[in-house]
A and B are shown apart, each in its own frame.
Chain A
C-alpha cells in the first residue's frame, strides 16, 4: 500500500470522527472563549480572540499555567510544557486545539 494511500485513509478516518463528534472550529472557539471568560482573573470586557494574556489582559505566568489547566480540563487531554509556553492568545489556543483534534482550521 503506498504511503499516499495510507495518509489519505487516516485523514478520511479522522475527519469523519472529528465531525461526527460534533467538533468544528466554531464549537472549539466557543468552548475556549467560555473557559477563558469563566477564569476569574480576566475581565470579559477586554477579552477578544486576539488579546494577549500577559500584555493586554494582565495575567502573570502562574495565571497562564492555571488557565491552560482549565482548558485541559475542558477538552480532556494534557498540553505539554513546550507547547504551553507558546499559547499566548486565545487564537493560539484555538489553532493548537484544532491541530491536535484534527479539525480544519481557517
Chain B
C-alpha cells in the first residue's frame, strides 16, 4: 500500500476509517441486558478488530484488501443487526462430515467452501487466536 507525501491512498483511508468505526461501536456497545455484559463484549470487539486488522496489515494486493474491507463491513452490519459482536457461525453443508470410505480432504475443503465471505479471516490457514 503506497502513501503519497500529502495524503494516504484512498483504500488505506477506508481501512483506517473502518477501524475507527469499529472502535467507536465498541465505545457505545449496548450489550444485551441479562444475557451479555457490554464491557466484556466491547473488550472482545476491540481485541478481535485489533488482531484481525494487524494480521492482514502487510497485504499488498488491492483485490484481496477489497475483499477484507467487505468482510469488515459485513461483520459491522451483522453486529449492529443482531446486537451480537461474535462471528456468526454458519452451518455445515450436507454430506460434509466424513463417512466411511469418503476421503478426508474433501471434508476440510467442503467446510472451508461453506464459510461465507464475512468469515474470510477464519478460513483454515488464517485462524486468529483471540482470547
Interface residues of A (CB under 8 A from B): 60-62, 65-66, 69, 73, 78, 81, 84-85
Provide the residues of chain B in CB contact with A66, threshold 8 Å: 23, 50
- Contact present for B17 and A81 (CB under 8 Å): yes
Q: B32 at interface (Cβ–Cβ under 8 A)?
A: no
- Contact present for A85 and B7 (CB under 8 Å): yes
- Contact present for A81 and B23 (CB under 8 Å): no
**Chain B at the A interface: SS class:** helix
Of B13, B19, B24, the contact of A85 (CB 8 Å cutoff)? B13
- Contact present for B19 and A62 (CB under 8 Å): yes
Provide the residues of chain B in CB contact with A78, threshold 8 Å: 24
Interface residues of B in 16-52 (CB under 8 A from A): 16-17, 19-20, 23-24, 27, 50
Can you list 5 A-B contacts (CB < 8 A)? A60-B54, A62-B57, A69-B27, A84-B20, A85-B7
- Contact present for B20 and A61 (CB under 8 Å): no
Provide the residues of chain A in CB contact with B54, threshold 8 Å: 60, 62
- Contact present for B8 and A62 (CB under 8 Å): no
Known: A65-B23, A69-B23. A81 touches B57 (CB 8 A): no
- Contact present for B13 and A62 (CB under 8 Å): no
Docked pose: A62 CA to B8 CA in angstroms:
13
Provide the residues of chain A in CB contact with B17, threshold 8 Å: 81
Of A61, A69, A73, A84, the contact of B12 (CB 8 Å cutoff)? A61
Docked pose: A65 CA to B23 CA in angstroms:
9
Docked pose: A84 CA to B24 CA in angstroms:
14
Known: A60-B57, A62-B54. A81 touches B8 (CB 8 A): no
- Contact present for B7 and A81 (CB under 8 Å): no
Provide the residues of chain B in CB contact with A85, threshold 8 Å: 7-8, 13, 16
- Contact present for A65 and B16 (CB under 8 Å): yes
- Contact present for A69 and B8 (CB under 8 Å): no
